[in-house]
């Protein structure tokens, strides 16, 4: 498959996943930021791989000047340097308690008014501000986070915690350095770190660095599923990306994967054996993980040669007639 066709196919499947997540359990998650977020993260990753900015701009079909302006616009608000526009608008409303739409637009007059208006709508839909009225008569009031229900006060807090844990697991670092790695609200980030420390999922070593402890999302748990989804997707994406750099398979591969599908019917003699693959592999892998974790706790190792192995697995069942998303 041509590389461009492969990229198109991966984007299509990823958008299907995002659409499913955005509408899971009847919710309608805001998506206005997704296109800009994809551009920003993709441009960062391309440049981090040694591609010159002029070449990166050409890959996006942009002149260098247009590319630089777009990256700068997404990185920070022109009216509030060093902060994203979303964060700047949210902070503006929170600090004033109640503001009118014209007041917000005037405060951010150097920014695109349609973008500012979209952010106000996004804040209202997310429950972070209360909106009343329409057009220029609209007023926005900050919401006291302490009065919000637990599942609304800190949207995605499980995912924030999991990403913090994964970051520390990959690279131990002092607390403030970990906070600075992410674009999350610093207050939310510090609260998540406090919770992870209190639960023992993060620990402070002798040098004052945060280190990962045990972090498990039990089978059947109602909370933490976002963390489990992200962890699985991250492992899969990193494994595929690593394999792309060395695509030829060998019998002794340490990096790679396999995808198999089985055609079954109700009376098939191997149906039960196939459909219980997930349970059997999960049991075997969890038992191995427990043995490794127990040994590591008894024999900590921080020398050279330390490596982390990610193993991911999954199973899906589609009945005949199930229409695959186009």
Co-location of 169 and 144 in the same domain: no
pLDDT of residue 146: 36
- Are the C-beta atoms of residues 139 and 176 closer than 8 Å to each other? no
Quote the tokens at residue 305: 């040669």
- Return the SS3 of 323: coil
Q: In what helix (H) or strand (E) does residue 316 lie, and over which residues does it extend?
A: none
pLDDT of residue 147: 43
The order of strands in the sheet holding 139-142 is: 98-100, 139-142, 129-132
18 in a structural domain:
no
Nearest to 21 by CA among 127, 156, 220, 122: 156
- Are the C-beta atoms of residues 166 and 160 closer than 8 Å to each other? no
Co-location of 241 and 208 in the same domain: yes
Co-location of 206 and 227 in the same domain: yes
Co-location of 166 and 240 in the same domain: yes
326 in a structural domain:
no
Co-location of 144 and 164 in the same domain: no
Co-location of 246 and 269 in the same domain: no
pLDDT of residue 317: 93
- Are the C-beta atoms of residues 127 and 95 closer than 8 Å to each other? no
Domain count, the chain: 3
185 in a structural domain:
yes
169 in a structural domain:
yes
Co-location of 236 and 165 in the same domain: yes
Co-location of 210 and 245 in the same domain: yes
Largest Cα separation within the chain, whole Å, is: 71
Co-location of 158 and 233 in the same domain: yes
Domain encompassing residue 276: 260-303
Please give the Cα distance from 182 to 163 (Å, whole number): 9
CATH of the domain at 95: 1.10.10.10
Q: In what helix (H) or strand (E) does residue 98 lie, and over which residues does it extend?
A: strand 98-100
44 in a structural domain:
no
pLDDT of residue 256: 86
By DSSP bridging, strand 139-142 and strand 129-132 are antiparallel
For residue 184, give every residue at least 6 positions away whose Cβ sits within 8 Å of its Cβ, in sequence order, or none: 160, 192
- Which own/partner pairs from 108-115 qualify as long-range (CB within 8 Å, at least 24 positions apart)? 108/77, 108/79, 108/80, 109/79, 110/78, 110/79, 111/77, 111/78, 111/79, 111/85, 115/85
46 in a structural domain:
no
Co-location of 226 and 159 in the same domain: yes
Co-location of 275 and 232 in the same domain: no
- Are the C-beta atoms of residues 56 and 47 closer than 8 Å to each other? yes
65 in a structural domain:
no
**CA 126, 75, 168 angle in degrees (round to 5)?**
80
The string of pLDDT tens digits covering residues 160-191 is 777 787 788 778 889 888 888 876 667 778 88
Q: What is the mean pLDDT of each run of 10 residues along the chain (326 residues)?
A: 79 83 62 77 88 92 90 67 70 87 92 86 79 89 54 53 78 86 74 84 84 66 66 85 80 86 95 95 94 89 82 89 58
CA dist 287 to 231, 280, 290, 291, 293, Å?
Answer: 19, 11, 5, 6, 10
Please give the Cα distance from 33 to 123 (Å, whole number): 12
Please give the Cα distance from 93 to 95 (Å, whole number): 6
pLDDT of residue 156: 52
CATH of the domain at 241: 1.10.10
Specify whether the backbone of 156 is left (phi greater than 0), alpha (psi in -120 to 50) or beta.
Answer: left
60 in a structural domain:
no
pLDDT of residue 161: 77
Co-location of 179 and 116 in the same domain: no
């Amino acid at each position: 498959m041509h590389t461009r066709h492969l990229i198109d196919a991966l984007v299509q499947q990823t958008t299907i996943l995002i659409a499913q997540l955005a509408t899971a359990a009847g919710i309608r998650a805001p998506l206005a930021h997704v296109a800009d977020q994809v551009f920003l993260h993709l441009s960062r990753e391309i440049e981090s791989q040694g591609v010159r900015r002029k070449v990166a701009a050409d890959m996006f079909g942009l002149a260098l000047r247009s590319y630089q302006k777009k990256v700068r616009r997404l990185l920070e608000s022109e009216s509030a340097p060093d902060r994203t526009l979303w964060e700047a608008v949210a902070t503006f409303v929170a600090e004033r308690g109640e503001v009118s739409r014209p007041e917000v637009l005037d405060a951010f007059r150097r920014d695109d008014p349609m973008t500012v208006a979209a952010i106000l709508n996004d804040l209202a839909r997310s429950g972070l501000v209360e909106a009343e009225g329409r057009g220029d008569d609209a007023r926005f009031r900050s919401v006291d986070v302490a009065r919000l229900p637990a599942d609304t006060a800190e949207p995605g807090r499980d995912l924030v915690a999991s990403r913090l844990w994964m970051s520390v697991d990959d690279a131990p670092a002092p607390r403030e350095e970990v906070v600075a790695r992410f674009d999350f609200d610093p207050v939310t980030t510090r609260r998540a770190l406090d919770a992870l420390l209190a639960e023992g999922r993060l620990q402070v070593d002798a040098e004052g660095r945060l280190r990962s402890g045990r972090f498990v999302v039990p089978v059947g748990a109602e909370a933490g599923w976002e963390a489990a989804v992200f962890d699985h997707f991250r492992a899969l994406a990193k494994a595929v990306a690593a394999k792309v750099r060395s695509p030829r398979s060998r019998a002794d591969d340490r990096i790679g994967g396999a995808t198999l599908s089985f055609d079954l019917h109700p009376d098939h003699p191997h149906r039960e054996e196939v459909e219980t693959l997930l349970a059997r592999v999960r049991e075997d892998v969890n038992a191995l993980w427990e043995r490794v974790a127990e040994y590591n706790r008894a024999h900590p190792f921080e020398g050279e040669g330390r490596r982390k192995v990610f193993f991911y697995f999954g199973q899906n069942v589609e009945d005949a007639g199930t229409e695959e998303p186009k």
